[in-house]
Amino acid sequence: MLVNPLCRLHGVIYSRLCTALKHTIDFSKVPKINEFDLTENFVRGSGPGGSAVNKNANCVVLTHVPTGTVVKCHISRCQDENRKLAREMLIAKLDEDLNGDNSVAAQRKRLEEKKYKRSEYKKKKMAHLKSEWRKREGLD
């Protein structure tokens, strides 16, 4: 299954959310990363995981040289997975820095707020109708 890199967050794929929102979110302004503009370092991570974390350099520090943006990724114990996730995190960070209110994250946040407001309106309307019905029936 082909998934947009911005639909991935910390190793969890939100494919259902992305397929539902793909027609309303504009992905055209997402910056493209050239591999020659990146410097990649591997350092030792920290946290739980035993020798897979403490002795191996599987934490990725990715630097985008033209902008000076630095991303550190140590979500997984696997170095290859951390490399992929670091690139996705860098794309998201650059998108947010360059596009601001038109970034994918901001668009997604606006859609979620709109959805929340719509559900709150429905809840209030239903509560109002229910209270009117109780008054009519003499249950109050």
Calculate the average pLDDT of the chain: 83
Pick the CATH number of 5-108 from 3.30.420.40, 3.40.50.300, 3.30.70.360, 3.30.160.20: 3.30.160.20
- Cα distance between residue 44 and residue 98, in whole Å: 31
Question: Which segment of 22-26, 85-89, 100-104, 110-114 scores lowest on mean pLDDT?
Answer: 22-26
Percent of the chain with pLDDT over 90: 49
What is the token pair recorded at 37? 């503009």
Is the pTM for the entire model greater than 0.85?
no
For the chain, the domains span: 5-108
Q: How far apart are CA 135 and CA 127, in angstroms?
A: 12
Percent of the chain with pLDDT over 70: 83
Task: Give tens-digit pLDDT for 25-83.
Answer: 888 888 898 999 999 999 988 877 777 677 888 899 999 999 999 999 999 888 999 99
Question: Using alpha carbons only, what angle is made at residue 72 by residues 71 and 78, rounded to the nearest 5 degrees?
Answer: 130
* Pairing mode of beta strands 8-9, 38-43: unpaired
